[in-house]
Chain A
Amino acid sequence: MKRRNFVQLAGLGAAGAMTVPSQLMGKNIPVEALLEPGMDVAGKKAMADTALNTARSLGSTYADVRLGRYLNQYVFTREDKVQNVVNTESFGMGIRVIANGTWGFASTTNVTPDGIKKATEQAVAIAKANSKIQKEPVKLAPVKGYGEVSWKTPIKKDFKDVPVSDKVDLLLSANAKAMENGANFVNSALFMVNEQKYFASTEGSYIDQDIHRIWPTFGVTAIDREKGKFKSRQALSAPMGMGYEYMDGTEAEKMSGPGNIKLYRNSYDIVEDATMAAQQAKEMLDAKSVEPGKYDLVLEPNHLGLTIHESVGHPLELDRVLGYEANYAGTSFATLDKWKSKDFQYGSDIVNLVADKTQLGSLGAVGYDDEGVACKKWDLVRDGILVNYQAIRDQVHMIDQNESHGCCYSQSWNDVQFQRMPNVSLEPGTEQYSVNDMIKDVEKGIYIAGRGSYSIDQQRYNFQFGGTVFYEIKDGKIGPMLNDVAYQSNTQEFWNSCAKICDESDYRLFGSFFDGKGQPSQISAVSHGSSTSRFNGVNVINTGRTI
């Protein structure tokens, strides 16, 4: 595609434009080519063995191979126009080796015995060259060789089988509903991803995986030209590790929220959401501006997910804790001494945060990670206490463990894999307690749904979050919409103010499709589940300004 057609997607971001990471691009292909089967498993194994044997013969003590075919389809529309339909394919092999106790990595698009041998030689040469300045030799946690195995995202409808015209029609219907209901502008998009990746390593694993993700989203804008004001309402969808069935809008997966809002679990009705969005964007133009002060916040899962992502997911990445990310994303307040003390109160005693690479429907769910470790679920915070981090094979020995957590990922065959955030979720409350029950118990509060502006410091102490929609809660009743709301807190203080969590019936996933980390930066997709939760006495600021 032309770069200029694809850089800034005005109106889609939570606040202004959204930029699609350039890493997501591949070669443009005709839509039919998405359905081509690609190389068969025997062919993949033969190619992988070429790399592994070459690496062994050159003195590597370990090698792994990722043969990847990444298929993407994106559809962009605004109002009654299709802006772009993009189909891309990226195919190649990445080879990672350990030689002289040092990592080396190289990749190639030339997936032939010759091309693979050359790339493997390059990876070994890089490892040997870097070993001269290496001060910490690589130490890998043991992993089982799984033999020849496979895993697939359990989808019901493959996006590749659904005609583009159906997708375009669906987005244009949603846009039309938004315009009918008073929107001045609407941008909508569908992102669909299929990672077909084959992993093999000298540990004896040959793993074939077929992974699907989908993200429908939009931004609806209402304008008051006289006052020179505009307000946008973003979609309340979540990106999911599902097939096109997510777009079915199944009634059983819909939920009604406070303030007459509609919320979605494992199925999304984009036409209904766009209708509501237009009505709400208009309402926002005249909504009252929040009085700053302390409020009890009632946070909906599609909002709370981003707070979990930033204040729990990132600070518990072991590479950040150890300083490997110091020059970019930063380090972490959750230092090893706090974890070793076994009594660091990360949150109140009802707070249980789990890492999980197996959760169905989530963006992070795979059978095996990108270094061939079978995925699992583990505790990060139990009864409010910090109990573990997220770590991969070459890191776990640093926290006295001998089993990788299975959360190694690379965005492409072209980039080296490293530790990435698994799904990190807040467990629901154990007693029966609904959102309505929660609101009844709040005297002075604000209900916040959907993601908004977010910012957090480089050690993950101080954060500020906005949201998509805000409603006042007064004396146990939901009130009118509010504007100009953002809350500021400190991670530990915030999670210790968690007073109540709704039960499992309210549990839903939030997702981040383009989470960035590393230098050069790589993206990954990750989900965060929770039920609506209450946080007491949080500082709310008013973000309105007059210029």
Chain B
Amino acid sequence: MAIYSKEEAKQILEKALSFSTADTCEINLNGSESGNIRYARNTVSTAGHRSNQNMTVQCSYGKKSGVATIDEFDDASLEKVVKRAEELARLSPENPEFMEPLGPQEYLDSNTYSESTSKITPEFRAKVASSSIEPAAAKDVTAAGFLNDSAGFAAMINSKGLFAYNESTRLNFTVTMRSNDGTGSGWVTRDFNDVDKFNPEEASAIAIDKALQSRNAKAIEPGKYTVILEPAASSQLLGNMAGSFNARRADEGRSFMSKEGGGTKLGEKIVDERVQLWSDPQHPDVPSAPWAGDGQARKKMKWLDNGVVKNLFYSRYWAKEKGVDPVVFPSNLIMGGGDASLDDLIKDTRKGILVTRLWYIRTVDPQTLLYTGLTRDGTFFIENGKIKHPVKNFRFNESPIIMLNNLETLGQQVRVNGNLIPYMKVRDFTFTSLSDAV
């Protein structure tokens, strides 16, 4: 069993810490049990289970630090790993950016753990696969999917008196449905902390429907179009944008967040004033751990408020250099939405394109946050408030900054990969070429 309770973890960590004579010592202990099933061609291809436990010890003398790891926790092993970290610290060069461990912190309550998810069995996983495969086969469609679930804990202690513990569970599911004539493809993604919120039949039915509806797509000219982006389509672009909220890179002049003439865009309005972007470890739909790996407390933090940059992340080192408080890297992203459902957004569109997902997204120009990628698994033409027909996939070249400046309507929020993202209608989204891919 790789999952320790708070008391068990604390006991092991205190024992390990007792072996250290270094100036500082910080120890992280993690464990998880995870299982997966993969299927393709309407049959199961692989299934696996993994048990993992690991302890990481960092010791320091002045600004010299060393790290050692181990996966056995008997007393002899604990002493060995601490002594090894100390030896490595003595031998290592000084790190001018080394920061001493934090003292005790106050953390918010966590709601990242679900008992049901921790009890998922191989039979449950096989049933999820069947709930994709059987309805697919009945409709002349082929399913390929992947389900991964995990339950785990993270704990840490240090010589300055800090102790932290969190337990969490997670389930990630994706399925691609392809029509057997090879002309249609649909996809769906779901992720939860609590498996009781997961309905594999409902998810699979959406992907099957998209596969059937997207058959025999028509080619239309690439160009600038009004698009309705499903949350799964915009989430990666938004995540990439959030990744540029790094104070150090902005201060150094090598980021979208750097300003002409020096300085950063902190406090500037960069997108439409309806855009609100924040993180919140306690949000009931997207809970995340209330502390980061170095013990910093996570709390609700605004990134964009009415389109204005409110915060950039500062590592502890960079915050000290700049004389400001550190801002910890977020563990989730929440973008404010509206009341409109997907149907409402479609009804309200005279001419536009509905995008299920964007794929193979790569940076083209970090200066302008320009990205390229393609639509995939369900792209539809909308005319006078109705879906008219499927269209061939497009390549796009677009910046999330331009996208959020061209915002038309915000719809309901949906959880995607641990984040909460709204449906969005955006004008003048740039498609630069057509793809024959289905």
Contact = CB atoms under 8 A, between A and B. Distances in A.
Contacts of A328: 146
A221 B366 CA distance: 12
B231 to A, nearest CB: 19
Interface stretch (B43-51, B108-116, B381-389, B418-426): B43-51
A134 B133 CA distance: 12
Interface stretch (B2-10, B62-70, B303-311, B337-345): B62-70
B201 interface: no
Contacts of A85: 92
Interface of A: 1-5, 10-11, 13-17, 27-28, 30, 81-83, 85, 103, 105, 109, 126, 129-130, 133-136, 184-185, 221, 223, 225-230, 232, 322-328, 330-331, 333, 416, 453-462, 464, 466, 484, 486, 488, 490, 519-520, 539, 541, 543-547
Nearest to B142: A323
Contacts of B399: 545, 547
Interface in B84-106: 84, 87-88, 92-93, 95-97
A83 to B, nearest CB: 8
Given A2-B293, A456-B360, A230 B253 contact: yes
B144 interface: yes
Given A1-B69, A15-B363, A462-B395, A225 B144 contact: no
A228 B260 contact: yes
Interface string B350-392: 0000000001111111111010111010000000000000000
A168 to B, nearest CB: 8
B282 interface: no
Interface centre among A322, A484, A543 (most CB of B within 10 A): A543
Nearest to A224: B253
B24 interface: no
A232 to B, nearest CB: 8
B206 interface: no
Interface of B: 28, 36, 38, 40-48, 56, 58, 67-71, 84, 87-88, 92-93, 95-97, 122, 126, 129-130, 142, 144-146, 148, 174-176, 178, 187, 243, 246, 249, 252-254, 256, 258-262, 292-294, 359-368, 370, 372-374, 376, 393, 395, 397, 399, 401-402, 432-438
B254 A228 contact: no
A461 B437 contact: yes
B253 A225 contact: yes
A130 B36 CA distance: 13
Given A134-B44, A462-B374, A2 B259 contact: no
A54 B256 CA distance: 59
A457 B360 contact: yes
Return the 5 tightest CB-CB contacts between A and B, nearest first: A228-B260, A15-B363, A462-B435, A326-B144, A457-B437
Contacts of A331: 178
Contacts of B368: 544-547
Contact of A228 (B41, B44, B70, B258): B258
A81 to B, nearest CB: 6
B22 to A, nearest CB: 15
Of the candidates B44, B122, B364, B368, the one having the most CB atoms from chain A within 10 angstroms of its own CB is B364
A416 B28 contact: no
Contact of B432 (A16, A134, A488): A488
Contact of B44 (A30, A130, A230): A130
Contacts of A229: 367
A184 B253 contact: yes
A22 to B, nearest CB: 11
A228 B126 CA distance: 54
B157 to A, nearest CB: 14
A134 B292 CA distance: 43
A453 B240 CA distance: 15
Nearest to B207: A327
A78 B35 CA distance: 39
Contacts of A184: 252-254
A486 B174 contact: no
Contacts of A2: 28, 56, 58, 67, 293-294
A462 B365 contact: no
B359 A458 contact: yes
B175 to A, nearest CB: 6
10 contacts: A1-B67, A3-B293, A10-B246, A28-B67, A326-B176, A327-B145, A455-B362, A462-B393, A466-B364, A545-B399
